[in-house]
Amino acid sequence: MNKTKKMILGLGMLGLVLGSFGLMTSSVSAYRGDVTVKGPNYSAEREVAMEKAFETNDYTAWKTLMQNRGRVTQVINKDNFAKFSEAHELAEKGDTVGAQKIRQELGLGLKNGSGQGMKNNSGAGRGNCTNR
């Protein structure tokens, strides 16, 4: 194989790797804050358990199901879980503005946790995943 063919093959492989990484990154961030999109940890059993935890305000069950995944588990605690459950319920009813307002009050859905929202409100409706 000559030098040109090796270079083309190498560039093709690099493009494939970078393209795959881009697809993985976009699919992982797609579910955040949108209760209609199933996240990477979704299962029907977990969904039922999460819904029950939200309906009964069972922080301990929610925390166990979350397994310390994500920033949300650092922010949500026993004292603010009822408010978090309210945001979840609003999002399920389609009130993404109300849900996002509560998330922001709780310190969720903010750019890098800095208190700065996304530019031009393009992040409206995005927050930390609540149940998937």
- The domain spans of the chain are 31-121
The alpha-helical segments, DSSP class H, found in the chain are: 3-30, 44-55, 59-66, 72-75, 81-92, 96-106
CA distance 54 to 61: 9
CA distance 40 to 105: 26
How do the pLDDT tens digits run along the chain, 132 residues long?
Answer: 677 766 676 666 655 555 554 544 433 443 455 667 787 878 999 999 999 999 999 999 999 999 998 899 999 999 999 999 999 999 999 999 999 999 999 999 765 444 444 333 334 444 444 444
How far is C-alpha 12 from the geometric centre of its chain's CA atoms? Answer: 32
pTM of the model: 0.59
In order of 18, 32, 113, 128, 132, the CA distances from 71 in angstroms are 26, 12, 9, 8, 14
